[in-house]
Amino acid sequence: MRIRLHWILLLIFSTAASIFLLTLVEVRTQRRGLGRELQRRAEGLAGYFQDRLDPLMLPQRQPALSEEIQRLGNREDLLGLAVYDDQGNHLAVTSWLEPRLARLPAAVVQATAENGGRGQFLSLDGQSIYLFAVPLHHGASVTGALAMVYDASYIQADILHTWHSAFWMVLVVIPLVLLLAWAVYRVYFIRPLARTAHWMRELRKRPLAPRPPPSPVGDPLRPLAEEAARLAQTLHEARAAASLEARLRASGLSLWTAERLRVHVQTCLEDSRLFVISNREPYIHSATGRGIAVSVPASGLVTALEPILRACDGTWIAQGTGSADRQTVDAWDRLRVPPDDPHYTLRRVWLSGEENEGYYFGFANEGLWPLCHIAHARPLFRGADWEHYQEVNRKFARVALQEMAGAEAPCVLVQDYHFALLPRLIKQHRPDARVAIFWHIPWPNPQAFGICPWQRELLDGLLGADLIGFHIRSHCNYFLETVDAALESRIDWDRSAVNRGGQRTLVRPYPISVEFPEPMMPAPTDERGDTVERATLFQNLGVNSIFLGLGVDRLDYTKGILERLAAIERFLEKYPVYRQQFTFIQIGAPSRTRIGRYRDLIEEVQAEAARINRRFQTSQWRPIVLLLREHSRAEIEPYYKHADVCLVTALHDGMNLVAKEFIAARDDEQGMLILSRFTGAARELPEALIVNPYDTESLADALRQALEMDPDERRTRMQNLRRIVRERNVFRWAGSLISDLAELRPAAHPAGSEPAASLSRADAS
């Protein structure tokens, strides 16, 4: 109660003080305004009086002066007139003023001395007056002054009325302000706090937290509510992790979790810092009409690497591509992330349009990508693209060396084919660094890789790493065979290592995976928070169907999308009973559309789908639905959960995480996966229906087999698939990679070397 009374008294005082200050300003303004009005009236009469009195200022005309003063002083707006000589002596004065104006007014002295009109407020016998004096002349000489006296008591009366009004305003406004303040306090503070307190009580009681109470727009407690929601989410994640660890210990299982990975990384790296280098950044800032929005790319890499970087306060170096990326970094192009709970540093690297065109779209994606995938697209190798590729690798190396300055025995994890030269560039300047690179795409056979004019330079750059990771063992073997054929080196086939130039490089398989949702994790929901049903999916697509087939891919010629559509057409030909019952939904994100081959693929896919639809569709059904845009994981999840069959028909793929995402989403242990044998995932997921995507007949038959499979067999297959994905999740991939990297013991840092030394073009050759 004492606190409430304190705030009430403070509110009363502040309200009264505000009204007092406003009234004081108004009174001063009012006084100045009325005074200027009196002065204008006096100045208007002064000229007329001067014309009448100037000729009467001679001594011999003093009787006439007295008569004229008495006559002019009879005006209603005047209290009286007085005339003084240049010595300040009375010459004539009206009868009302004569007994009251004993002292010489200062305005008369000023008017005589300065030969100009002057005014002042006076009090005569307790009455407020305004006296305005003007000089009188004889010829050019000032011979005296005229004093014009006005009644100014009405000004004081108006000011007093203003103060009375202010007093009554205080009496009326203060109760209203208190009432309004109490209403605002109730609506915007007491009720939200009560809702938040209730929510937090429920959070404390139940394992799964309910949704935080909604905050109205403009709610002053919104920042507090948002922080409470983040705290609750952190608490929920910690509780879930602890519960999961307890269940795993009780069941004797040893699964990798984000928390286990975090602890493992802290143990392995000890005081070493980790530096991750990738082309794609983990957080993108984009300018919108409402300000700056932050987004996370749909990538399993962020899921896998964030726990590592959080655990060791590492640094992620990546190209800045967002429209507002430059606005969110500091003077050193750094940014602490995640935005709501910073635990590591994001260092952005800026590339020019020309550099990105040559390095990324040119050499990396028109050269290395088709070269490694061997998927019927001719690789293009241009000298200018190679120059840009070298320069961008040098630029990233310079940034990495700057970030590593002062770090002892740093660990560097380079990602993918964009940075084949980077390990050597880093190792030349920091031999004490432990450097690993993970190659996310396939590695072709030696004859295919020999197409590249700069294969020796690429291999030498990769062999600068202490550890090279691929998805599967066959890619490791192909790499060793390529090195053996192209470079002078010694291959240790038993230990899968390359010895060259005094450096040893291990080559290991690390099958990448996805995060496996545990049972206590919330079910996927749509944007409104409602669980999405199969009927809703069909209704939103305008299709009346029974069976749902699904494909989720980037629109890339390596994914076998056209082969997939051909198999669906053959399936409907061979098994017409599925017409008007089976609909295939292809979710495809347009990719690299600046490259002609990708633009052509989009047109081919659309044309082929339209042709098949024209052949089979009815008024309420069509066999193929294309959703060709970027979809978030939350948008894709309902399709995963309700698809009867998921088709992964890549013509050549390092792993293909779509297959594992589909399996991880099927907590109902239903659905069937049709998987190309040319994917890395086919080595790990034998319970899927393994197919040759080029064999249209067998692919169509596999589709029928998946739809007509006995439910018990389908459940058994999916249970086995989920067990594999759960045990070999993305945290296990990251933990294995970091374990092997941490065990390496590279050379000591040479004394006196400069980590951030400039890199010349020769360094990348």
Mean pLDDT of 98-103: 78
DSSP 217-276: TT-TTHHHHHHHHHHHHHHHHHHHHHHHHHHHHHHT-----HHHHHHHHHHHHTT--EEE
> β-pairing, 497-500 with 490-492?
antiparallel
Question: How is residue 679 annotated by DSSP?
Answer: B
Block residue for tokens 């999405």: 532
Q: What is the pLDDT of residues 599-623, one digit of tens each?
A: 999 999 999 999 999 999 999 999 9
pTM over 0.85: no
Determine the 3-state secondary structure of 498 from DSSP: strand
> Domain coordinates of the chain in residue numbers?
34-158, 263-514+742-747, 534-728
Q: What is the CA radius of gyration of the chain?
A: 44
Cβ within 8 Å of residue 422, ≥6 positions away: 277, 393, 396, 397, 400, 414, 437, 461, 464
Determine the 3-state secondary structure of 123 from DSSP: strand
In this structure, what token pair is assigned to residue 126? Answer: 């307790």
Q: Are 80 and 73 in contact (CB under 8 A)?
A: yes
State the CB neighbour count (10 A cutoff) for residue 388. Answer: 23
Q: Which span out of 390-394, 589-593, 747-751 was modeled with the highest average pLDDT?
A: 390-394
Strand partners, 137: 142
Mean pLDDT of 184-188: 74
538 against 758, higher pLDDT: 538
**Interatomic CA distance for residues 68 and 54, integer angstroms:** 11
Q: How high is the mean pLDDT of the chain?
A: 86
Res. 525 pLDDT band, cuts 50 70 90: very low
Q: Residue 715 pLDDT > 60, yes or no?
A: yes
Res. 249 pLDDT band, cuts 50 70 90: low
Q: How many residues are listed for the chain in this entry?
A: 765
372 against 756, higher pLDDT: 372
Q: Residue 568 pLDDT > 90, yes or no?
A: yes
Q: What is the pLDDT of residues 271-322, one digit of tens each?
A: 888 999 999 999 999 998 888 999 887 666 787 788 788 888 899 999 999 9
Res. 205 pLDDT band, cuts 50 70 90: low
Q: Residue 217 pLDDT > 50, yes or no?
A: no
Topology classification of domain 534-728: Rossmann fold (3.40.50)
Mean pLDDT of 652-662: 93
Q: What angle do CA 253, 684, 669 make, to 5 degrees?
A: 65
Q: Are 43 and 34 in contact (CB under 8 A)?
A: no
Determine the pLDDT at residue 761.
Answer: 45
Determine the pLDDT at residue 180.
Answer: 83
Q: What percent of the chain has pLDDT over 90?
A: 50
Determine the pLDDT at residue 377.
Answer: 85
Say whether 534-728 and 263-514+742-747 share the same fold: yes
Determine the pLDDT at residue 320.
Answer: 95
Block residue for tokens 């008017």: 111
Return the CATH number of the domain spanning residue range 263-514+742-747.
Answer: 3.40.50.2000
Determine the pLDDT at residue 751.
Answer: 38
Least confident of 174-188, 581-595, 655-669: 174-188
In this structure, what token pair is assigned to residue 75? Answer: 């005006």
DSSP 392-456: HHHHHHHHHHHHHTT-SS-EEEEESGGGTTHHHHHHHH-TTSEEEEE--S----HHHHTTSTTHH
**Interatomic CA distance for residues 674 and 649, integer angstroms:** 8
Determine the pLDDT at residue 672.
Answer: 97
In this structure, what token pair is assigned to residue 231? Answer: 């705290």
Mean pLDDT of 365-381: 91
Residue 239: phi, psi to the nearest 5?
A: -65, -40
Mean pLDDT of 242-259: 63
Q: Residue 209 pLDDT > 80, yes or no?
A: no
Give the end-to-end CA distance of the chain in Å, rounded to a whole number: 78
Determine the pLDDT at residue 223.
Answer: 64
Least confident of 112-116, 182-186, 593-597, 726-730: 182-186
Determine the pLDDT at residue 432.
Answer: 93
**Interatomic CA distance for residues 744 and 739, integer angstroms:** 9
Residue 473 buriedness (CB in 10 A; 0-12 / 13-18 / 19+): middle
Mean pLDDT of 65-94: 83
Determine the pLDDT at residue 283.
Answer: 93
Q: Which span out of 162-166, 458-462, 516-520, 538-542 was modeled with the highest average pLDDT?
A: 458-462
φ/ψ bin of 542: left (φ > 0), alpha (ψ from -120 to 50), beta (otherwise): left
Q: What is the pLDDT of residues 138-178, one digit of tens each?
A: 877 888 898 998 888 888 888 888 888 888 888 888 888 88
Classify domain 34-158 at the CATH superfamily level: PAS domain (3.30.450.20)
Res. 233 pLDDT band, cuts 50 70 90: low
Res. 74 pLDDT band, cuts 50 70 90: confident
Q: Which span out of 340-344, 718-722, 734-738 was modeled with the highest average pLDDT?
A: 718-722
Determine the pLDDT at residue 686.
Answer: 95
Least confident of 260-264, 594-598, 685-689: 260-264
**Interatomic CA distance for residues 765 and 760, integer angstroms:** 10
Least confident of 201-205, 641-645, 708-712: 201-205
Q: Residue 765 pLDDT > 50, yes or no?
A: no
Determine the pLDDT at residue 559.
Answer: 95
Q: Residue 754 pLDDT > 50, yes or no?
A: no
> β-pairing, 127-138 with 141-151?
antiparallel
Least confident of 83-97, 135-149, 232-246: 232-246
Q: Are 728 and 254 in contact (CB under 8 A)?
A: no
Residues 539-554: b if buried by 16+ CB within 10 A, e if exposed: eeeebbbeebbbbbbe
Q: What is the pLDDT of residues 321-360, one digit of tens each?
A: 999 999 999 999 999 999 888 989 999 999 999 999 999 9
Determine the pLDDT at residue 241.
Answer: 58
Q: Residue 465 pLDDT > 80, yes or no?
A: yes
Number of alpha carbons in the 13 Å side-chain half-sphere of residue 607: 6
Determine the pLDDT at residue 753.
Answer: 38
Q: Residue 16 pLDDT > 70, yes or no?
A: yes
Q: Residue 125 pLDDT > 60, yes or no?
A: yes
